[in-house]
Amino acid sequence: MEPAFWHQRWHDQQIGFHQGKPTPLLLKHWPSLGIAPGSCVFVPLAGKTLDMDWFAAQGLQVLGVELSRVAVEQFFTEQGLTPQVEESRYGRHYRSGPIELICGDAFALDEAALSGCDAVFDRAALIALPPELRRRYVRDLYARLPSRCRGLLITLEYPEHEKDGPPFCVREDEVRKLFGHDWEVATLERRDILDQQPIFIAEGVTALETVVYRLQRMGGTPTA
């Protein structure tokens, strides 16, 4: 999607994708990754997700990137935090304690920016992008994460003719095609969530599943 689309969504507070609590599937599956305290988690297209606050509470460092300044500033305000702010070639950095949010273009991040990331959590990034951008996103951004990196990816699947994204339907065969060259992909859970999503039902969607994948960068240390 064009940047203006997301800026407008945040300006108008049309943010149905935002959750008022940490992602339940994150809480369930994150411990299986064995990420050590003090490690840094990369959160792409972070919005103002409370998952970042949850990571910090687990003793983890957080590096998020988000295009919308409205989203970034709302996150810190709503958490009662006063961040330090500075500029770099990547954008405007907001830091408070273990949480750093870069207000800028995720595609502008390079290996140097991501070199400290031990893990990645992607709940609403991949599914926010149309097909051509999904390919670029994985080919360019994920390729810059270090070899030790591992994490969780959460997607949605629904009959594509019944709804226009975002969020987009990203099926398992596409996930494996996108990531299979550089990442080991394991399906951890598939769950029917249609009855929990009245907006999808109102749009005429007749089936909706969420799928959780474990990602392990090839060349890294496998998880148990």
Q: Would you write out the chain's pLDDT as a tens digit for each of its 224 residues?
A: 566 665 566 556 655 554 668 999 999 999 999 999 999 999 999 999 999 999 999 999 999 999 999 999 999 999 999 999 999 999 999 999 999 999 999 999 999 999 999 999 999 899 999 999 999 999 999 999 999 999 999 999 999 999 998 999 999 999 999 999 999 999 999 999 999 999 999 999 999 999 999 999 987 554 44
- In terms of DSSP H, where are the helices of the chain? 3-11, 24-29, 51-57, 69-78, 111-114, 131-136, 172-179, 198-202
Binding-site residues from annotation for S-adenosyl-L-methionine? 10, 45, 66, 123
User: Could you tell me whether strands 99-103 and 91-96 are parallel, antiparallel, or unpaired per DSSP bridges?
Assistant: antiparallel
pLDDT at 94: 98
pLDDT at 4: 66
Binding-site residues from annotation? 10, 45, 66, 123
Assigned CATH topology for domain 136-219: Rossmann fold (3.40.50)
* Domains of the chain by residue range: 1-10+36-117, 136-219
Assigned CATH topology for domain 1-10+36-117: Rossmann fold (3.40.50)
pTM assigned to the model: 0.91
Q: What is the 3-state secondary structure (H, E, C) of 12-43?
A: CCCCCCCCCCCCHHHHHHHHHHCCCCCCEEEE
d(CA 171, CA 5): 24
pLDDT at 222: 47
pLDDT at 19: 63
- Taking a C-beta distance cutoff of 8 angstroms, is the pair 206, 162 a contact? yes
Q: Fold identical between 1-10+36-117 and 136-219?
A: yes
